[in-house]
Amino acid sequence: MKPIPVAFHIGPLEVHTYGIGLAITFWFAYRYFERRLRNAGYPYQWLTGAFLWIVIASIAGARLLHVLANWSSVYEHHPSQILAIWQGGLSSFGGLLFGIPVGVILARRRCPELPSIRALDLVSPVLMAAWGVGRLLGPQLMVDGGGRPTTAWWGLRYAGEAGKRVPVPLIQAFDSFVIFAILILIEHYVRNRPVGFVLAATSALWGLARFFGENVFLRQNDHNGAPLVQGAGLLLFAAGLIAMAVLWRRHRSDPGPEVEPEPDKTLDDSSSLPADTPVEV
């Protein structure tokens, strides 16, 4: 089985499938978040102008953290590769560290009627769904996209790597879609929940997945940033778990102010839209 193609040519132009995958992922996240805002009864027109800055901040942060984590082993000796994001090398934690604060600031300025914690609750399933899509269309289609060598039948071949490799992107995509499904179930069945509960659940579940995904349970990767990812994942898991417990305890003692509004509909439900509003497919 040959490695998955990572680039193709249109005349003299070389097009990287990794970049196309990222573009599709960002477009999906934008459309899905816009739909969730609309279904939840909040203005959504502000998102168009803000989303470009969120994308720029996310990519810049993701690249910066990746470069810092691999500075001594790669980029100190090859500084010309620092900006070569078309070859892969984006840290998810760096993207979140830069993208989320920028998104919160822009939302507060352009949509003041949307509370920040409520916005983070709404965007959490979007992030998990987009993360799953991005794993399938990003690292899965780039050079050196696989994990450690394996002789298992389910191993895949990746460009730039010898032999079969643990399909890390596929495993992470599966994790993300499972977490996304859990969050949707929480939204639909835990109706009387505190604001921020979905965000806290996302932190706990995603942190746990990243902790076990980096050399602990699956022993997927051998990159220099693996210990940092393990630590950050464990911290997110603990913080999310504690936040869930605290929010739920406060909610039970005083449920009035913190009860979340009716959750938005599923991806294909347009019943909450006005009659004259077109439905995207």
Class of residue 249 by CB neighbours under 10 A (exposed 0-12, middle 13-18, buried 19+)? exposed
Contact 51, 140 (CB under 8 A): no
Q: Which residues contact 206 (CB under 8 A, 6 or more apart)?
A: 128, 131, 176, 179, 233, 236
- The pLDDT of residue 201 is 97
The pLDDT assigned to 252 comes to 86
Which pLDDT belongs to residue 20?
85
pLDDT on residue 148: 82
Whole-number pLDDT of residue 64? 87
Beta partners for residue 8, in sequence order: 15
**Per-residue model confidence as pLDDT tens digits over 255-264:** 654 444 544 4
**Whole-number Å distance between alpha carbons of 258 and 261:** 9
pLDDT at 246: 96
For residue 2, give the amino acid letter.
K
According to the model, what pLDDT value does residue 78 have? 76
Residues of the chain whose pLDDT is less than 50? 1, 216-222, 257-260, 262-281
Residue 217 is predicted with a pLDDT of: 38
Say what the pTM is. Answer: 0.81
Nearest to 7 by CA among 160, 130, 135: 160
